[in-house]
Amino acid sequence: MTTPTEASAPRLPGQPFFHYRDAQLWVEDVSVSALARAHGTPLFIYSQGAMLSALDAYRRGLAGREALICYAVKANSSLAVLQTFVQAGCGLDIVSGGELIRAVRAGADPRRIIFSGVGKSRADMRLALELGIGCFNVESLPELDVLNEVTSLLGRRAPVSLRVNPDVDARTHPYISTGLKDNKFGIAHDQALDAYRHAASLPGLEVVGIDCHIGSQITEEAPYLDAMDRVLDLVAAVEADGIALRHIDFGGGLGIDYQGETPPAADALWARLLQRLDQRGFGDKALLIEPGRSLVGNAGICVTESLYVKHGAHKHFLIVDAAMNDLPRPAMYEAYHAIVPVELLDRPSHVYDVVGPVCESGDWLGRDRRLAVASGDLLAVCSTGAYCMSMASNYNTRGRAAEVLVAGNQTQVIRERETVDDQLRLEHGLAPALRPRT
């Protein structure tokens, strides 16, 4: 058996931080197979260099501007990932009280935390006010009223930005589109001015900005420009009404390369957006942005072991030890992730559906993939840094995977593999009085 050269290796999203060397897959300067032997599979491996490189593109695009990059915690909320961005100077964008606690544990300055989300509870609001967060992105009139009530109980004022739904098509999957009038997010564009007037009348609120987020995995420039124009029209109307806005929050949503997509680079996109901002006369406004996927998506892989090769009359199946509980995006969105061998070997290939062991027909990681693989081989599911571990579950009483962070030739386990005992720790068996009689 011969070893293929790197020239015949499959394309890897996330290069140069993920690459083949001597026919073996490496993350930065660490062998993937060595990590899998040491920590088992399924195993998430993240490149810190890839994260910081993606962040640098945003910094270049926003250079010279008053801007705060708030990493969207929901994309990947692992503590060490949050610390990577906080220590690099980022703020954080959160959507729950739990994420708020994570953000503080990661060392985030509460004044650099933005609280988004359509369903903040009174307890969430109270905790955020007590900590002194930078801004609430408010998404409805009832939320404005409840937040005002909570502030009155605490004797504080809440800095608020209203999330406006501009009714702009982000041209992405309908489950991750958020800027159309039929979506649950934000305040309708034609109702926003009245909402600002109402917010400004409430004694417990301080109106400080405007927010817009149109969706996720956006791969074109046009939706951003369209949304910016709609938002700036509203900024002009709100300020003409006597309500000053200190910042404009343009959200996140920039896509990544999963299957050869070519989204605009963050620095190029922001050069165009800032040009439009200046043309419209709002270049002096402070800016907030909330990238998530574009910072971490291509910074991660999930390593999985091939368990069984099952040949059928019409389909061939490759059964692996990772499943929909580890990698929910294919089951949820029919999302594509490249699947590549950890070791390049010269053997016959077949077309497989790559599936997991969970008892659901929806438990698949990739369909119709040509792979040269045998039982016991390791595969890497690419572009799994975002919306994989953060959405993982314990379905079928499967423990969540371990996570490892790589920086150059240094590695750290940032999450231990979850055991069954970990899952059962909060459960209680039947009390004697509730046991069924036989």
Q: Which active-site residues does the annotation give?
A: 359
CA–CA distance, 17 with 32 (Å, rounded to integer) = 12
Residue with the two structure tokens 């149109």: 214
CA atoms within 13 A on the CB side of 351: 5
100 touches 411 (CB < 8 A):
no
293 carries a ligand binding annotation: yes
300 carries a ligand binding annotation: no
Cα radius of gyration rounded to whole Å, the chain:
24
16 carries a ligand binding annotation: no
What number of H helices and E strands is found in the chain? 12, 21
In sequence order, what are the residues at sequence separation of 6 or more whose Cβ sits closer than 8 angstroms to the Cβ of residue 46?
76, 81, 296, 299, 300, 385, 403, 404, 405, 406, 414
209 carries a ligand binding annotation: no
Max alpha carbon distance in the chain (Å)? Answer: 79
58 carries a ligand binding annotation: no
CA–CA distance, 165 with 183 (Å, rounded to integer) = 8
SS (H, E, C) 4-21: CCHHHCCCCCCCCCEEEE
184 touches 221 (CB < 8 A):
no
360 carries a ligand binding annotation: yes
75 touches 296 (CB < 8 A):
yes
Structure tokens at 319: 């059964």
Residue of 46, 92, 94 lying closest to 401 (CA atoms)? 46
290 carries a ligand binding annotation: yes
329 carries a ligand binding annotation: yes
CA–CA distance, 206 with 214 (Å, rounded to integer) = 25
Residue of 251, 411, 405, 293 lying closest to 55 (CA atoms)? 293
292 carries a ligand binding annotation: yes
Residue of 20, 42, 41 lying closest to 31 (CA atoms)? 20
Residue of 105, 46, 97 lying closest to 76 (CA atoms)? 46
Residues making up the binding site for pyridoxal 5'-phosphate: 253, 290-293, 387
Residues making up the binding site: 253, 290-293, 329, 333, 360, 387
Residues making up the binding site for substrate: 293, 329, 333, 360, 387
